A and B are shown apart, each in its own frame.
Chain A
Amino acid sequence: MSALLDVRNLKVRFALPKPSLFAPHPFLEAVRGVSFTLEKGRALGIVGESGSGKTTAAMATIRLVPAAGGEILFEGEDLLPLDDEAMRARRRDIQLIFQDPYSSLNPRARVVDIVREPMDLMGIGDAASRLERVKELFELVGLRPDQLNLFPHQFSGGQRQRISIARALTTNPKLLVCDEPVSALDVAIQAQILNLLARLKRDLGLSYLFISHDLGVVRHLCDDVAVMYLGQIVEQASREDLFDSPKHPYTQALLAAAPSLARRKSKGYVRPLKLSGDPPSPINPPKGCAFVDRCPLAQEICRQEQPVLKACGASQVACHFAAT
């Protein structure tokens, strides 16, 4: 199998305001050395709490946030050294779907123009063929041709997300980055969009980098999963391994926290693993394991030494005491 995207030791940091005129800039370490591989035609889910760096890592991967270090190999070519024009040409292959379908569409443009715009910018085809393509995409994502000339406010949330998906597909991308694409939608509508994304992946052979905090959604759509905590990947595995036998205590706690139909109050369900507190601040990340203060297994070595991602069964886990 060939890797579409191979990210190695990616780092992102944001400069914070100086505490005084002559002091150096303090930095917020948002992504602290993340590596992952996305194969063609597969979906990699990145999960984690807010502030874990999952969105920043994905945005840095497609150069919408500047990276502070690392390599991003897209079909074998490193994206980081590319100049603006070469990167712009590369963006044809990389498209993005945002979380909020209300703010990511121009309210003053007709949807036909919104969906056509990437082709205008990339200079693909002529006017007639572009309109043809828009009509084709409308049908593909389940919108009607008579809706072409409407404005975004005339659509419901789920339909707007379909418009975003149509727009993302205009340039025939190879990689689709989905940043919480269903979080803003009602559950019934969420299912419609997830089914659409699954169908597009199957029919068009798309690859997804899928960011979500919802484990059920990730389990439904993704082939591989990476769990992030405070800017690092703490566990990476195939869907089956991650959900059926989670190794890292954080992954186990995340799974225990997610509501599920199998857990019934009437059957006296009590959560086995409780996480207290919040993640530590990324401004001064702890020296050892970032999860140490919330971890039920923590010992002295966890405070001193940062665990590295290593093989544990079929999974990759960064924990001194990972369950085997």
Chain B
Amino acid sequence: MTHLLQIEDLRVTFNTRYGEVTALDGISMQVREGETLGVVGESGCGKSITALSVMGLIPTPPGRIAGGAIRLNGEDLTRASEARMRELRGAEMAMIFQEPMTSLNPVFTVGDQIAEAIMLHQNVSRDQAFRDAIALLDRVGIPSPDTRARDYPHQLSGGMRQRVMIAMAVSCRPKVLIADEPTTALDVTVQAQIFDLLNEIQRDFGSAIILITHDMGAISEMADRVAVMYAGRVIEEARADDVLDYPQHPYSRGLISCIPALGKGEMRDTLAEIPGVVPPLHLLGAGCAFADRCSHRQMRCDTEQPRLIAHGHHPAACHAVEEGRI
């Protein structure tokens, strides 16, 4: 099976008051049809910039794709015209954002907003599009969809709004669906409903899903493959089971062991901590960006950038793993 979406050595830079900073520094990841790729990391690691790059939504200026390629079915999106991107967005790839309240238009009914997306990409009448919108609302599990379609976003609960976003995103059966922390603002019960819905949609439509999250628990439930990001780089990439059971990079290990356990019997006295915070991008030095927070730091970590290569189990960008020290 070939990859539906392939990101190759992508570099994205931003002009800031500190000069040009590199937000994405040569990242590569790929996702197949019907597969879910989890992208995980703390805030400021470049997860959302990756998603926006794929959608062609990096604000330019100050941002700029400085190198690499993003291939959707072989077509390089970094070279596509804005008109071509507009054709692809919504039809071939769609995105679900973190905050459904701010991503829906407050002055149009949700039915009209979904119908608008349908009419942009399909040659159908307004009436037909509205009927399709109602069918989609039904599909994403909104009760009494024909009355709800005439509601405005503020009349819906947070979970319902996120369902509307999903209905809009899947209205043209996109091949790639990017979900950027789709459940951050929601309760766990609603989060579970949204995750189950995304899985159903993937089964029905065969979409590839890129799920962006900071929660390793969500990765475990949703993802087939995982890319762990840190300070604009992919530092570990493998099948979800490999990363969860045999994390290599000290950062991935930290992310997994700092979650309080929920399962019967498992109990940790103290949680593993990752000291400090993600460094600001303009302060990155020549060495490993994680060195300051790492307990396996040695001289080499400060001077030489580790590369993402398989040392044992699967690829990880870490000198300590490479030297067999951990």
Contact = CB atoms under 8 A, between A and B. Distances in A.
B146 interface: no
Interface stretch (A72-80, A266-274, A316-324): A266-274
A316 B98 CA distance: 37
B74 interface: no
A260 B217 contact: yes
A91 interface: no
A266 B192 contact: no
Interface stretch (A55-63, A108-116, A146-154, A182-190): A182-190
Contacts of B36: 265
Contact of B187 (A50, A244, A260, A265): A50
Contact of A215 (B188, B239, B273, B274): B188
Contact of B214 (A186, A198, A258): A186
B241 A188 contact: no
Contact of A261 (B191, B192, B216): B216
Given A186-B214, A187-B215, A261-B244, A49 B187 contact: yes
Interface string B224-245: 1000000000000001110010
Contact of B270 (A50, A198, A253, A262): A198
Interface string A173-192: 00000000000001111111
A277 B159 CA distance: 9
Contact of A275 (B192, B220, B260): B192
B221 A264 contact: yes
Given A213-B188, A261-B220, A219 B260 contact: yes
Contact of A265 (B222, B254, B260, B261): B222
Given A187-B215, A188-B258, A264-B221, A259 B191 contact: yes
Interface residues of A, number: 44
A274 B196 contact: yes
A243 interface: yes
A204 interface: no
B192 A190 contact: no
Nearest to B274: A188
A240 to B, nearest CB: 9
Nearest to A273: B192
A191 B272 contact: yes
A227 B141 CA distance: 27
A191 B273 contact: yes
A90 interface: no
A290 interface: no
Contacts of B193: 274-276
Nearest to B213: A259
Given A49-B187, A186-B214, A266-B240, A191 B221 contact: no
A269 B195 CA distance: 12
A271 B192 CA distance: 8
B260 A254 contact: no
A152 to B, nearest CB: 15
Contacts of B155: none
Nearest to A217: B260
B33 to A, nearest CB: 16
Interface in B122-170: 141, 143, 157, 159-160
A186 B214 CA distance: 7
Nearest to B45: A186
B240 A216 contact: no
A188 B42 contact: yes
A18 interface: no
Contacts of B309: none
A23 to B, nearest CB: 23
A256 interface: yes
Contact of B224 (A194, A265, A269): A265
A158 interface: yes
B103 interface: no
Contacts of A187: 42, 214-216, 255, 258-259
B192 A274 contact: yes
B271 A257 contact: no
Interface string A33-49: 00000000000000001
Contact of A220 (B157, B195, B271, B273): B271
Contacts of B214: 186-187
A243 B264 contact: yes
A156 interface: yes
A100 to B, nearest CB: 13
Given A219-B261, A243-B262, A274-B196, A261 B256 contact: yes
A262 B189 contact: no
B303 to A, nearest CB: 25
B262 A255 contact: yes
Contacts of A275: 189, 192-193
Given A215-B188, A261-B216, A277 B143 contact: yes
Contacts of A271: 192, 196
Contacts of B239: 266
A253 B189 contact: yes
Contacts of A253: 189
B207 to A, nearest CB: 15
Given A220-B268, A254-B189, A215 B262 contact: yes
Q: Which 10 A-B pairs have the closest CB atoms?
A: A259-B217, A257-B192, A191-B258, A220-B260, A216-B260, A188-B274, A191-B271, A49-B187, A186-B42, A262-B263
Interface of B: 36, 42-43, 141, 143, 157, 159-160, 187-193, 195-196, 214-218, 220-224, 239-241, 244, 254-256, 258-268, 270-275, 277
11 contacts: A188-B42, A219-B267, A220-B268, A243-B262, A258-B188, A258-B262, A259-B220, A261-B256, A264-B244, A276-B193, A278-B160
Given A219-B260, A243-B264, A256-B192, 16 more contacts: A156-B277, A188-B254, A188-B258, A188-B273, A191-B273, A192-B273, A192-B275, A216-B260, A255-B262, A260-B221, A260-B263, A261-B217, A261-B261, A264-B241, A274-B192, A278-B160
